[in-house]
């Protein structure tokens, strides 16, 4: 399989810089802020990717780094848009709108963020990376699959860590039903198909733009469903989030 053109690593977009930004967000946000919940999950994934790069797990480390950073930049851009009182992409709006809702469980916040990032951002990040490296999506397939496998390996742990305690069983039943309707593996597969479609449409910007807009809207709709409130205020949240504050934070149940 042909490989991407080997370029020197981009000094302005290191994985370490992305990790630093995520850690700063984690420190700044209330731990039960819904964006904070996703940020901690994503920070763990990005740190794992960084370890894989350091230990030579990727065949093309530069391609993996570029994809990882382009991917993370889309999430961070959404955070910045909200902080600047601008609209983030539609796929991210449900998470920011419901981030302090007392009836939404931490696991819902985590998976809604993963849904937005995998369902929408990943396809665009693949195209961004191809343009940066001068290669086609097929040349990134190994790196894409390895990052996807890492996400899948963490999904089970995320669900275990964030599922309700036994005394909240009456919440767990509808939560299990709701979250069972969404699959990270299917979302990853759909992202790869979308990336290939967008690459094929790169000479038709109007069509590519419409495709991207429809994808953004559909992923946002799925995110809104994942964030359906399942409890009355105060059932799981012993300390309320303050109405003011910035926009991101941590895994906490």
Mean pLDDT of all residues in 157-183:
65
The yes-or-no verdict on residue 74 having pLDDT over 80 is: yes
Band the pLDDT of 202: cuts 50, 70, 90.
very high
Mean pLDDT of all residues in 52-75:
93
Residue 47's Cβ-side half-sphere holds a number of Cα atoms within 13 Å equal to 11
pLDDT of residue 244: 41
Band the pLDDT of 167: cuts 50, 70, 90.
low
pLDDT of residue 93: 98
Range of lowest pLDDT (14-18, 60-64, 181-185, 249-253): 249-253
Cα distance between residue 236 and residue 127, in whole Å: 41
Identify the residue with better confidence: 148 or 213.
Answer: 213
Band the pLDDT of 109: cuts 50, 70, 90.
very high
pLDDT of residue 163: 66
The yes-or-no verdict on residue 73 having pLDDT over 70 is: yes
Tokens of 76: 């961070």
Largest Cα span, the chain: 56
Percentage of residues of the chain with pLDDT beyond 70: 77
Cα distance between residue 220 and residue 61, in whole Å: 32
The yes-or-no verdict on residue 9 having pLDDT over 90 is: no
pLDDT of residue 247: 42
Range of lowest pLDDT (29-38, 88-97, 122-131, 157-166): 157-166
Cα distance between residue 189 and residue 119, in whole Å: 9
Band the pLDDT of 184: cuts 50, 70, 90.
confident
Helix/strand/coil (H, E, C) string of the chain?
Answer: CCCCCCCCCCCCCCHHHHHHHHHHHHHHCCCCCHHHHHHHHHHHHHHHHHHHHHCCCCCCHHHHHHHHHHHHHHHHHHHHHHHCCCCCCCCCHHHHHHCCCCCCCHHHHHHHHHHHHHHHHHHHHHHHHHHHHCCCHHHHHHHHHHHHHHHHHHHHHHHHHHCCCHHHHHHHHHHHHHHCCCCHHHHHHHHHHHHHHHHHCCCCHHHHHHHHHHHHHHHHHHHHHHCCCCCCCCCCCCCCCCCCCCCCCCCCC
Highest mean pLDDT (candidates 151-155, 215-219, 242-246):
215-219
pLDDT of residue 61: 92
Cα distance between residue 56 and residue 32, in whole Å: 35
């Amino acid at each position: 399989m042909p490989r991407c053109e080997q370029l020197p690593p981009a000094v302005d977009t290191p994985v370490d810089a992305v990790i630093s930004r995520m850690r700063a967000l984690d420190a700044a946000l209330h731990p039960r802020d819904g964006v904070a919940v996703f940020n901690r999950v994503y920070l763990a994934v990005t740190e794992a990717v960084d370890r894989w790069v350091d230990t030579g797990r990727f065949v093309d480390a530069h391609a993996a780094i570029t994809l990882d950073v382009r991917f993370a930049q889309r999430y961070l851009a959404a955070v910045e848009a909200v902080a600047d009182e601008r609209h983030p992409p539609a796929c991210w709006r449900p998470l920011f709108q419901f981030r302090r809702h007392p009836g939404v469980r931490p696991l819902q916040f985590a998976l809604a963020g993963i849904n937005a990032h995998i369902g929408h951002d990943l396809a665009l990040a693949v195209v961004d990376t191809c343009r940066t490296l001068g290669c086609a999506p097929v040349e990134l397939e190994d790196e894409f699959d390895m990052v996807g496998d890492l996400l899948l390996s963490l999904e089970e742990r995320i669900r275990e860590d964030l599922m309700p305690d036994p005394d909240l069983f009456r919440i767990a039943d509808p939560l299990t039903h709701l979250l069972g309707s969404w699959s990270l593996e299917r979302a990853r597969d759909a992202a790869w198909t979308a990336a290939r479609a967008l690459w094929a449409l790169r000479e038709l910007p109007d069509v590519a733009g419409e495709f991207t807009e429809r994808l953004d809207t559909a992923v946002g709709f799925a995110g809104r469903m994942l964030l359906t409130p399942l409890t009355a205020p105060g059932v799981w949240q012993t300390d309320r989030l303050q109405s003011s504050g910035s926009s991101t934070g941590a895994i906490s149940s």
